[in-house]
Structure 1
């Protein structure tokens, strides 16, 4: 075909949290060749996300990222980012001049963050992968 050329060395990666609504044309052989389920971050992953999200923040010297990682089991990376933002806002409500974000505000934010990922969602993703060669 005119104007169509093979792209050598190009990999296309697609992501969705709704694989059940993908157009069936995308699932034909030669389109999306490999399905890979990437679940919520594990304990080490959550700790790494907290480390990355807090590295430029002034945080309580007593802050334990392992505890935060435990408190946020099942959270997505975006939810962990929200925990950090909510903790900072919590400290600002307490004291606008605080020298750091308090550990207690991190822990409260971690306990209060609404979980968006349900067990049913994870089960449906795994089932989709099994049915579609993932």
Structure 2
């Protein structure tokens, strides 16, 4: 009854998308760089787990966050994991960004208190009031 009715998975890795299509044939998956994607659909929930540190270009990061805002319903929630510290790791394939990067890209949004999530932090970003999360084990 309260399950997911419309799921769209997006990944830049063609291998990942093809594997997910086999494992979850009832859902849609597309292979694309989200900083270049435009779609008209809106979603209640957007999850970006272990992704943002791999967007090393600040311009692509900004465009990716614009994409998230464009597909998030007004009453929707964006769940994102990040190190939330600057200079944790900066390599050719990873870049750490502090919470100020997210606040700059979501200026009129509310933020949950980040909670520890694996080696990163998980937070919720929304125009709605945020219910604080318990620590994720």
- TM-score interval w.r.t. the shorter chain? under 0.3
- Structure with greater strand percent: 2
Q: Which has the higher contact order (CA 8 A, sep 6+)?
A: 1
- Structure with greater helix percent: 1
The structure having more radius of gyration, on CA atoms, is 1
Q: TM-score, normalising length from structure 1?
A: 0.25
Q: TM-score, normalising length from structure 2?
A: 0.25
